[in-house]
């Protein structure tokens, strides 16, 4: 229906209302009553039309019931287009058989489980990778295919944002990665990858760093011993060697700190995938770390506010290391102002934060802060004698505790580092009793 038809329809209604107004004028000899009658007539006509239109909106699958030719034509066109759209959508909706054929053609292993974690379907790639037969395994719980606690705990948590790595068989080199996503109303689609080579390379890197660090410890200890002994043996003309020896002692101290951080980081990475269930009183932990650092930095103001009574299930040594690194960084990179440590609750879970009023960090550096040996300012790092591994350690501790690390910083105004832990890892203080 074109716009001319709609115009003629409305024009007829206006003429009808005007005619009724003129008749009222002749009958009452009152112009205001005539105008009111015309407007009332128009409102009644339009209201009646709208009421019928809204009734059709409530059930648009029916044919439009409106009788006026112009409006009926327009609504009929809408009805036809909607019907075609619905038919088109239905025709494009893939059938289960088509879906299965699509997954079957994938080179990547895939399987579907239901809400009870029972196997509904898997493709040929999954059968080959897992050495199973779909007909034999269909309907069985998923943990029958992947024995061990790791998968049970992963499924119980229902947190599928991070992929799961498993070593399902007797071969320690065989490693699989499972990625879960929603499929339908309550099912899960799982993609399975063989990451054995990647896992092997990561272990080789960790072993190399750990072995080299251990091997460096012995010669470094010998060198440190001589450096500490020689100053007491020097006198007279040899006193000029005191300053070089002091500088050597400083560098040896830095190397020792670097080796210690490398060994600790290697240890954290090695056990990163393991479930940590120890109950940690974070309030007491934070108080202990702050007390130690107050002794080491007597001229600095370190404030602690522990408002949350929640405890974390995790590793106390790792959490202590992460908090200590954050506070030490705040002390090193801020010359004045307090360093504020907080343990508070939030809508998503408890938050451990460290805030300073120091130099701040430019936005372009923030995404790379947790990289090993990454330096925001090389000259500043040399002055503070940092190893460049502190935030890398914090990141790995966060990952192993399923926490998120957030960094808010502005140049010249300071920085705030926040570790936000999931509520699933928390327990009230009463749980320790």
Q: Convert the pLDDT of each residue in 391-404 to its tens digit.
A: 999 999 998 888 99
The pLDDT tens digits of the residues spanning 199-229 come to 888 888 878 888 888 888 888 888 888 888 8
Domain 278-432 adopts which CATH fold?
Heat Shock Protein 90 (3.30.565)
Q: What is residue 7's predicted lDDT score, i.e. its pLDDT?
A: 56
- The CB-based long-range contact list for 173-182 (8 Å cut-off, 24+ gap) reads 173/199, 173/200, 175/199, 175/200, 176/129, 176/146, 178/146, 178/151
CA angle 388, 372, 197 (to 5 degrees): 155
Burial of 344 (0-12, 13-18, 19+ CB in 10 A): middle
- pLDDT in tens for each of the 433 residues of the chain? 445 555 565 667 677 767 777 777 777 767 677 677 777 777 777 666 667 666 655 665 554 554 454 444 545 555 554 555 444 444 444 556 656 666 667 788 999 999 899 998 898 999 989 888 988 888 999 988 888 888 888 888 787 888 888 888 788 888 999 999 888 778 899 999 999 998 888 888 878 888 888 888 888 888 888 888 887 777 666 667 778 888 888 888 888 888 888 888 888 877 766 667 789 999 999 999 999 999 999 999 999 999 998 999 999 999 999 999 999 999 988 888 899 999 999 988 999 999 999 888 988 889 888 888 787 766 555 555 667 788 999 999 998 888 999 999 988 889 999 999 998 888 765 444 4
Please tell me the class of the 96-194 domain. Answer: alpha beta
Q: Does domain 198-270 have CATH number 1.10.287?
A: yes
Rounded to whole angstroms, the Cα distance separating 186 from 205 reads 40
Task: Give the C-alpha separation, 111 to 190, whole Å.
Answer: 5
> According to CATH, where is 1.10.287 located in the chain?
198-270
d(CA 40, CA 20): 10
> Across the chain, what does the average pLDDT equal?
80
Of all residues in the chain, the percent with pLDDT exceeding 70 is 75
- Residue position matching structure tokens 């370190």: 302
Q: For the whole model, what pTM was predicted? A: 0.59
Distance CA 308, CA 305 (A): 9
The CATH 3.30.450.20 domain(s) of the chain lie at 96-194
């Amino acid at each position: 229906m074109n716009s001319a038809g709609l115009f003629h329809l409305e024009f007829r209604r206006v003429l009808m209302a005007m005619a009724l107004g003129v008749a009222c004028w002749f009958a009452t000899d009152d112009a205001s009553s005539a105008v009111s009658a015309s407007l009332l007539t128009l409102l009644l006509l339009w209201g009646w039309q709208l009421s019928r239109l809204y009734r059709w909106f409530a059930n648009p699958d029916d044919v439009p019931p409106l009788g006026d030719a112009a409006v009926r034509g327009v609504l009929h066109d809408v009805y036809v287009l909607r019907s075609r759209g619905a038919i088109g959508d239905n025709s494009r909706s893939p059938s289960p058989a088509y879906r299965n054929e699509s997954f079957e053609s994938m080179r990547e292993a895939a399987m579907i489980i239901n809400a009870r974690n029972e196997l509904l379907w898997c493709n040929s790639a999954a059968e080959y990778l897992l050495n199973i037969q779909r007909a034999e395994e269909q309907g069985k719980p998923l943990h029958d295919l992947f024995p061990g606690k790791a998968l049970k705990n992963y499924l119980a948590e229902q947190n599928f944002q991070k992929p799961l790595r498993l070593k399902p068989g007797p071969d320690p080199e065989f490693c699989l990665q499972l990625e879960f996503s929603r499929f339908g109303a309550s099912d899960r689609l799982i993609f399975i990858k063989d990451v054995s080579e990647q896992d092997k390379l990561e272990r080789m890197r960790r072993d190399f760093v750990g072995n080299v660090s251990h091997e460096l410890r012995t010669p470094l200890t010998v060198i440190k011993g001589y450096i500490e002994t020689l100053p007491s043996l020097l006198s007279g003309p040899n006193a000029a060697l005191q300053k070089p020896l002091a500088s050597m002692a400083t560098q040896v101290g830095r190397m020792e700190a670097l080796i210690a951080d490398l060994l600790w980081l290697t240890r954290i990475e090695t056990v990163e995938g393991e479930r940590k269930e120890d109950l940690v009183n974070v309030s007491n932990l934070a108080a202990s770390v702050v007390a130690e650092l107050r002794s080491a930095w007597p001229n600095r103001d370190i404030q602690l506010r522990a408002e949350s009574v929640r405890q974390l299930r995790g590793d106390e040594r790792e959490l202590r290391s992460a908090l200590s690194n954050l506070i030490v960084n705040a002390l090193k990179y801020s010359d004045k102002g307090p360093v504020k440590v907080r343990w508070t609750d939030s809508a998503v879970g408890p938050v451990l934060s460290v805030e300073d009023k120091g130099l701040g960090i430019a936005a372009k550096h923030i995404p790379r802060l947790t990289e090993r040996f990454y330096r925001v300012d090389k000259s500043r790092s040399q002055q503070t004698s940092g190893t460049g591994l502190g935030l890398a350690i914090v990141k790995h501790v966060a990952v192993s505790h399923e926490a998120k690390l957030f960094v808010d910083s502005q140049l010249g105004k300071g920085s705030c580092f926040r570790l936000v832990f999931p509520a699933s890892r928390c327990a009230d203080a009463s749980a320790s009793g």
